[in-house]
């Protein structure tokens, strides 16, 4: 069930009505309804994978209690590692087994040893990377005594399976969401209104910006050998806005939907394309994942407390692992490695936390410098996105090479439903709207909210692509 589908447009009002008017007596009935709705939502993808979600939920619930009740460190470690290994085992089998098997076979063939890998014919369960990380953070926090184990199975089940965040995040923490699900929610009109605004803006990002950009990005990347330099440059820019509109749009719809039920989710995006360096970009992009790797991988590895070599090592580890988290392909690993290379000069100069303040522009040299920093950060980000989007590393390298060697900077006609000029205008208006609202959660609230809301709905109706519900990119991760 897609957020931009008719099915979800029917599903959401029904759950909303039942939640506030039928199951509103206690927090237990509210939570029970949301779990039923979440399981139905997930089963719409493939009901057979519900057993994985239920098993993962029970595993971490039970091991969390055993870790807390463990009378010896040996017992606590046993249950801790049982949860870690089983969770990562499922993730490894479904998401990474074929990658490792094929890569090892290619290595043997390159060495002159004929090999035919034994591959598994399995479908990647949607959202497995997200709900696995929910459970992992919960168990890790219990083991290190940051939180207490949750004994109410219904409350814990809702934390793991809550449908707005189930298939594509944000990656929630037990410290943030569990306290909210343990109390009865009362309807708050202002919060619900904020949620509707955020849902509408998320739809603008998805169906107006992301899906329209996808039409052109796909046409260019799939036929990059016949594209001129200017088209290749546009293709990289289109994909940058496609993945941003797609993923942040999903996050906005998820956060807005959750507000309708009185629950606040972690913010996942904070206008990342206005970043002044790559470190700021990663503080603004997929915030829940970046902070997860910081807290559960980077800091345990030693963080920035060790010597220079340890800092460099840890930086490359979290970026490469982050790339690998996104998918079982060398292109994602290359993408992570490239971002680590981008980050390295900031680390060496100890300037990776320079741009922590809000962005302000005025008529002076510093503002010119700020604009240049934003544009240059966006440029190098687009280069990295080429590796993320390409099917192979070779394709990515040839794509970049074509930008410099094709030497033709005219508009090419693409056999799509819209023209380049219209799309560039849409992107320009979208950037302007976000820039003017960069200190807010989303652009529709505040002054003239009804006018902005009307314009957003008109944009969805005029430019939204609803003929086929394009899947959200991050569902595959």
pLDDT tens digits, 69-92: 988 999 999 999 999 999 999 888
Q: Any idea of the CA torsion for 37, 38, 43, 45, to the nearest 10 degrees? A: 120
User: Do the beta carbons of residue 30 and residue 185 sit within 8 Å?
Assistant: yes
134, 176, 326, 360: the catalytic one is 326
Helices and strands (H, E) in the chain, number of each type: 20, 0
- How much is the pTM? 0.91
254-268, 404-418, 445-459: range with lowest mean pLDDT? 404-418
Three-state DSSP class for 340? Answer: helix
With tokens 């206690």, the residue in question is 26
Residue 437 has pLDDT above 60, yes or no: yes
pLDDT confidence of residue 414: 63
Query: Which ranges of 144-188 would DSSP assign to H, the alpha helix?
Result: 153-161, 163-166, 174-181
CA-based end-to-end distance of the chain = 16
Look over the chain and give the mean of its residue pLDDT values, rounded to a whole number. Answer: 88
Residue 50 has pLDDT above 70, yes or no: yes
Residue 229 has pLDDT above 60, yes or no: yes
pLDDT confidence of residue 474: 61
Structural domain boundaries of the chain?
Answer: 6-187, 191-276+359-476
48-52, 60-64, 116-120, 220-224: range with lowest mean pLDDT? 116-120
Mean pLDDT of 382-399: 95
Nearest CA to 58 among 129, 122, 139, 123? 139
35-39, 172-176, 379-383, 421-425: range with lowest mean pLDDT? 421-425
CA 437 to chain centre: 21
pLDDT confidence of residue 467: 54
pLDDT: which is higher, 212 or 127: 212
Query: In three state form, how does the secondary structure of 225-273 look?
Result: HHCCHHHHHHHHHHHHHHHHHHHHHHHHHHHHHHHHCCCCCCCCCCCHH
CA–CA separation, 386 and 399 (whole Å): 8
Q: What is the pLDDT of residues 305-361, one digit of tens each?
A: 778 889 899 999 999 999 988 888 899 999 999 999 999 999 988 888 888 787 877
Active site includes 326? yes
CA–CA separation, 75 and 97 (whole Å): 30
User: Do the beta carbons of residue 443 and residue 406 sit within 8 Å?
Assistant: no
pLDDT confidence of residue 12: 95
With tokens 């796909």, the residue in question is 218
CA–CA separation, 287 and 172 (whole Å): 11
């Amino acid at each position: 069930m897609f957020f931009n589908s008719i099915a979800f447009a029917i599903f959401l009002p029904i759950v909303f009505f039942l939640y506030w008017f039928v199951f509103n007596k206690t927090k237990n009935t509210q939570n029970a309804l949301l779990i039923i709705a979440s399981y139905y939502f997930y089963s719409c993808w493939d009901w057979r994978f519900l057993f994985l979600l239920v098993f993962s939920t029970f595993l971490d619930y039970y091991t969390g209690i055993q870790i807390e009740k463990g009378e010896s460190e040996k017992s606590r470690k046993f249950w801790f590692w049982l949860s870690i290994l089983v969770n990562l085992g499922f993730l490894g089998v479904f998401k990474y087994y074929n990658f490792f098997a094929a890569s090892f076979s290619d290595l043997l063939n390159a060495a002159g040893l004929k090999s035919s890998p034994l591959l598994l014919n399995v479908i990647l369960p949607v959202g497995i990377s997200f709900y696995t990380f929910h459970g992992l953070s919960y168990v890790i926090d219990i083991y290190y005594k940051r939180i207490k184990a949750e004994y109410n199975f219904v409350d814990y089940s809702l934390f793991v399976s809550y449908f707005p965040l189930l298939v594509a995040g944000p990656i929630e923490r037990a410290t943030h969401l569990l306290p909210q699900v343990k109390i009865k929610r009362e309807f708050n009109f202002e919060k619900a209104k904020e949620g509707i605004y955020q849902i509408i803006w998320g739809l603008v990002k998805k169906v107006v910006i992301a899906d329209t950009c996808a039409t052109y990005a796909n046409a260019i990347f799939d036929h990059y050998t016949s594209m001129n330099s200017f088209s290749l440059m546009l293709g990289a820019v289109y994909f940058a806005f496609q993945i941003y509109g797609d993923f942040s749009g999903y996050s906005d719809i998820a956060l807005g939907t959750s507000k309708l039920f009185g629950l606040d989710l972690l913010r996942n995006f904070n206008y990342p394309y206005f970043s002044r360096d790559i470190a700021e970009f990663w503080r603004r992009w997929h915030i829940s994942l970046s902070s997860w790797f910081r807290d559960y991988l980077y800091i345990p590895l030693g963080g920035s407390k060790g010597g220079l070599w340890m800092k460099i090592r840890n930086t490359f580890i979290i970026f490469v692992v982050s790339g690998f988290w996104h998918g079982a392909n060398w292109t994602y690993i290359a993408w992570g490695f490239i971002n680590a290379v981008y980050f390295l000069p900031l680390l060496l100069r100890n300037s990776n936390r320079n741009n922590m303040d809000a962005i302000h522009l005025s008529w002076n040299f510093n503002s010119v410098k700020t604009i240049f920093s934003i544009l240059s950060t966006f440029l190098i980000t687009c280069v990295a996105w080429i590796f993320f989007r390409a099917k192979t590393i070779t394709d990515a390298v040839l794509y970049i090479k074509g930008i410099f060697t094709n030497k033709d900077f005219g508009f090419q006609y693409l056999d799509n439903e819209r023209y380049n000029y219209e799309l560039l205008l849409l992107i320009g208006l979208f950037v302007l709207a976000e820039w003017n609202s960069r200190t807010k959660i989303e652009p529709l609230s505040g002054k003239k909210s009804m006018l902005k809301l009307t314009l957003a709905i008109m944009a969805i109706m005029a430019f939204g692509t609803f003929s086929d519900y394009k899947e959200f990119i991050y569902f595959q991760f």
